[in-house]
Amino acid sequence: MVMNGFMGTLYSICEWIMRLAYVNILWICFTFLGLIVFGFGPSTAALFAVTRKWVQGEHEIPVFKTFWSEYKNEFLRANILGVLLLVVGFILWADFRILNTQDTGSWGIFIQYFLIVATFIYLTMTLFFFPVFVHYDLKLFQYLKQTLLIAISRPGEILMMIAGSLVVLLVMQQFMGLIPFFFGSVLAFVVMWCANRAFRKIEEKAQALREREAEAEAEPE
């Protein structure tokens, strides 16, 4: 049944609310299914795989089938890379803690600035990691390299991600009851939308470069 006007808009809004709530509940359940530590990475990858399809216009996908397929197929890789990111994050946190308890003099200022820059790069990589993971088909550790390159080359999308994430966090802070139903899914949708914009721009530039190279090769000497 096709609805137009106000009722059509209301129906579409309700449909999106149900989609986001459903995939958020799946994300939580499958995170616990993997005992949190081993469930968070693949469950988050599955969440981004679903939101990626939505962002790209595939609104009628079978949500559970898509989620489960990504979860089981990427369970090992998502855990390896997810644990690696957690370890790096822990090391940065531990370094800050140690620095705050030691009198390192002038060297302390240099180290502090270095850690701030390293933490910012780490956070931007973390924002882009799962979108890159579900968008590209790469070898295991190439995901980290690709994530870093994209994060550095697309500062505009990084700022959009940060701003969008802050808005989501502020809203959830004001309405705590929404967290079990919308926190992960809405945050993933916002981040994936920004990342997809970055991917599209990069692919457009790469296509334009290939076309110029093809034209240059076709020109007579």
Instruction: Please give the pLDDT value at position 221.
Output: 57
112 C-beta neighbours (distance < 10 Å), count: 15
pLDDT band at residue 217 under the 50/70/90 scheme: confident
Instruction: Please give the pLDDT value at position 18.
Output: 95
Residue that wins the pLDDT comparison between 221 and 49: 49
Instruction: Please give the pLDDT value at position 195.
Output: 94
Residues 150-165, mean pLDDT to the nearest whole number? 90
Does residue 25 contact residue 41 with C-beta atoms inside 8 Å?
no
Computed over every residue of the chain, the mean pLDDT equals: 88
Does residue 185 contact residue 21 with C-beta atoms inside 8 Å?
yes
Tell me the percentage of the chain whose pLDDT exceeds 70: 93
Backbone angles phi, psi at 56, to 5 degrees: -85, 10
Does residue 21 contact residue 181 with C-beta atoms inside 8 Å?
yes
- 76-107 pLDDT, tens digit per residue, is 999 998 888 888 888 988 888 887 777 666 67
Backbone angles phi, psi at 50, to 5 degrees: -70, -50
Which of helix, strand or coil describes residue 62? coil
Q: pLDDT at residue 53 above 80?
A: yes
Instruction: Please give the pLDDT value at position 30.
Output: 95
Residues 55-73, mean pLDDT to the nearest whole number? 94
Instruction: Please give the pLDDT value at position 103.
Output: 63
Residue that wins the pLDDT comparison between 52 and 89: 52
Residues 144-166, mean pLDDT to the nearest whole number? 90
Residues 130-145, mean pLDDT to the nearest whole number? 89
Render 133-159 in DSSP notation, one character per residue. Answer: HHH----TTHHHHHHHHHHHH-HHHHH
